[in-house]
Structure 1
Amino acid sequence: MLISKLLKRIRIFMKRLDAFLSSLGYCSRSEARLFLRLNTVLVKNERVFNPSTKVNHCDVLINSEPLDAEKLVIILNKPSGYICSHNDAGKLIYSLLPLRYQNRNPKISTIGRLDIDTTGAILLTDDGELNHKLTSPKKDVKKIYEVTLQNPLKGDEKELFFSGEVILNGEDKPLKPAFLKQINSNLVHLEIVEGKYHQVKRMFAYTGNKVIKLHRLEFAGFRVDDLKDGEFKILENDKI
């Protein structure tokens, strides 16, 4: 009885090879047979050509490399000029990813957004549950921005933002406390736990100042210090 239950559980995690290849963006299901001829696909170290072969994800190698993870989490150093959308015209952030990542089903989406002129750390994933958790206002996910200002600080911004009393134009509730660290008179690091529309720009507009450059240093504890503009890396599950 125990063995039959184990075998049943193993079968639950098995599915057709062409279904794996399609969902992970390697090829469409109709292209799978050709893909298997053009690439060396091993299942338990035996080459396969039949796209209907039932497999476990961990048993498959493609050209000596394991299959991409079933759920991807990516950190990317977003350059200026790229849009965090699937539908808008212009340069889309997803074009910075390999084509097979762009073809995954479900699609990879950004966790939150950065404005077209804002640079820096952004996470992308096809894990809908994780995306929801990290964008939920209840989770207080930390974000740190480097902010370049048009005018010098007045001197009271740190206390003002930390007070939790700032109500932005068009809002009916005050912002949660934010932490400002002054680098010089026109450059600050600002830590917030919300993600309201254009929040950082609107916070400094509230003080009569203007943001002329905005770079996100950190999101949810992840930084892009080791990544050039447009570069990305896959985050391991144990780090998320």
Structure 2
Amino acid sequence: MRLVKLIANLGYGSRKEIQTAIRHGWVTDRAGNRLKADSNVPHEDVLFDDEPLDPAPGMVLVMNKPLGYTCSIKDQGRLVYDLLPDRFRMRKPALSTIGRLDKETSGLLLFTDDGTFLHKVISPKADVPKVYDVTLDRPMKGDEAALFASGDMMLESEDKPLKPAELDVIDATHARLTLHEGRYHQVRRMFAATGNHVTDLSRSRIGGLSLDGLEEGKWRLLDEADKARIFEG
């Protein structure tokens, strides 16, 4: 049953459905030999319907999230999970986003089924920087960079100042903002506190990892080198 459980936990179907697939010969090794429910074959050598299995637990992937999609499976409407293979929703352990981007924010979004890795990325101790490209409704006043970098900025209804953030001004209404924490709608609230309004927001980098030309709505698996880049600032 080890092979049945392995494939079922990857979301390919219930254990009963996987047993049926094995009986029909849809589960083979790379040489084309039909496998049995009790076959002891390395994960990387198992094919399901002539395709390699998805990665074992510990999978991390990156998506270029489009506008209009939400990150919570409890929300109505279009979900980021709709852009992934259906079986990913059935994985055990579950696949989750590492942090969130709201419906009106696009760009780099990470997923994993590894809780330890997730907490390592979002932990304040890791201090993983996140870079956002911002378009504003009105020209900046000129003092925003100093305010954001001060470490004294307070957001409405909060009692703890923000960590210093770096603002690189591109032109009067465009900037790149690097955060070292993740509070609710933080970028939008920071600019709102200066009397401005964010009209377009996209995350372009987490640590040293960027989208590297990944098309909007597409995703790819991360290898060990990619994962290491997340912790490079």
Name the TM-score, length of structure 1 as normaliser.
0.88
Number of the residue aligned with 1:216: 203
Q: Do structure 1's residue 26 and structure 2's residue 12 form an aligned pair?
A: yes
Pick closer, same or farther for the CA change 1:54–1:211 going to 2, 3 Å.
Answer: same
Match of 2:46 among 60, 70, 88: 60
Number of the residue aligned with 1:134: 121
What does 1:98-137 correspond to in 2, within 5 Å? 98-137=85-124
Q: Do structure 1's residue 229 and structure 2's residue 188 form an aligned pair?
A: no
Larger radius of gyration: 1
Number of the residue aligned with 1:8: none
Deviation at 1:55, TM superposition (A): 3.5
**1:168 is paired with a residue of what secondary structure?**
coil
Number of the residue aligned with 1:17: 3
Match of 2:170 among 183, 194, 205: 183
Number of the residue aligned with 1:75: 62
Give the distance between the partners of 1:38 and 1:238, measured in 2 at CA: 38
Q: Do structure 1's residue 205 and structure 2's residue 188 form an aligned pair?
A: no
Give the distance between the partners of 2:118 and 2:197, measured in 1 at CA: 31
Pick closer, same or farther for the CA change 1:127–1:87 going to 2, 3 Å.
Answer: same
Deviation at 1:222, TM superposition (A): 1.8
Q: Do structure 1's residue 51 and structure 2's residue 37 form an aligned pair?
A: yes
Give the distance between the partners of 1:178 and 1:111, measured in 2 at CA: 20
**1:137 is paired with a residue of what secondary structure?**
coil
**Which amino acid in structure 2 is aligned with residue 220 of structure 1?**
G
Does structure 2 conserve the Cα–Cα contact (< 8 Å) formed by 1:16 and 1:55? no
Name the TM-score, length of structure 2 as normaliser.
0.90
Q: Do structure 1's residue 173 and structure 2's residue 156 form an aligned pair?
A: no
**Which amino acid in structure 2 is aligned with residue 47 of structure 1?**
N
Pick closer, same or farther for the CA change 1:46–1:64 going to 2, 3 Å.
Answer: closer
Superposition RMSD in Å: 1.8
What are structure 1's unaligned runs of at least 5 residues?
1-14
Q: 1:193-237: CA deviations, max 9, x gaps?
A: 110001001110111111111111112322224122210110012
Deviates more, 1:60-69 or 1:202-211: 60-69
Does structure 2 conserve the Cα–Cα contact (< 8 Å) formed by 1:25 and 1:101? yes
Give the distance between the partners of 2:117 and 2:66, measured in 1 at CA: 24
Deviation at 1:61, TM superposition (A): 2.9
Does structure 2 conserve the Cα–Cα contact (< 8 Å) formed by 1:16 and 1:51? yes
Deviation at 1:35, TM superposition (A): 1.7
Q: 1:158-196: CA deviations, max 9, x gaps?
A: 111111111111121211111111111000000011100
Deviation at 1:51, TM superposition (A): 2.0
Number of the residue aligned with 1:89: 76
Q: 1:84-126: CA deviations, max 9, x gaps?
A: 0122221111110011222211111000001111000010010
Deviation at 1:41, TM superposition (A): 2.5
Does structure 2 conserve the Cα–Cα contact (< 8 Å) formed by 1:33 and 1:49? no
**1:216 is paired with a residue of what secondary structure?**
strand
Give the distance between the partners of 1:148 and 1:39, measured in 2 at CA: 54
